[in-house]
Structure 1
């Protein structure tokens, strides 16, 4: 058993796993233009508070996805491919489905991550 942990295959697998973890972590930290500061400023500007750290993380993922979509659209606007610009608003932490539900009902669910699963 001890020889297994000293084998070349084990060392390569461990190195590959470590490389994958570092790559995933760096992608999460950089997250394109979706910095932690931008997320915090959004929450302050729109007075956003969430029920848990899990909910906050879930909303940040949605916010970052929407931010990338907004930025991509605005690049097309700069090239003259579309006729209007988009911007961040109070709905930027909502998925498309949640936003449509809000349009039809006029109310946002309680913001629980469980309600969006």
Structure 2
């Protein structure tokens, strides 16, 4: 079964899931906005806890950058320029490199808890 997790098809499927999971976007923030409340709701919904205030701040910056990227992409979706909508999921506090590492290895320690594939 472990070879299944290393297949290109599986990795592409996970990437597609990452891109297509859509949670009601307005629940988190409006276009270009990343509020303390949206960060608090994100951490509460996905049970995120960080090891330090510095790590929390770092993850919030990544989260806000990802929110801005999601907003920009969804504006393109509304204009018919792309075919899918994006949304916030449990990976929104990861950089793209950290997410790729997670796809490759199946786990990553991002300063909160170790996220492992189930």
Once the two structures are superposed, the pairs formed by residues 62-101 of structure 1 within 5 Å of their partners are 62-101=62-101
4+ residue runs over 2 A deviation: none
TM value normalised by structure 2: 0.66
TM value normalised by structure 1: 0.67
What 5-or-longer segments of structure 1 have no aligned partner? 1-31, 113-117
Once the two structures are superposed, the pairs formed by residues 1-117 of structure 1 within 5 Å of their partners are 32-109=32-109, 111=111
Number of aligned residues? 81
Q: RMSD of aligned C-alpha atoms?
A: 1.1
Residues 94 and 110 of structure 2 are in contact (CA less than 8 Å); yes or no, is this contact kept in structure 1?
no
Higher relative contact order (CA 8 A, sep 6+): 2
Q: Which has the higher helix share?
A: 1
Q: Which has the higher strand share?
A: 2
Deviation per residue, 1:7-64 (Å, 9 max, x gap): xxxxxxxxxxxxxxxxxxxxxxxxx410000000000000000000000000000000
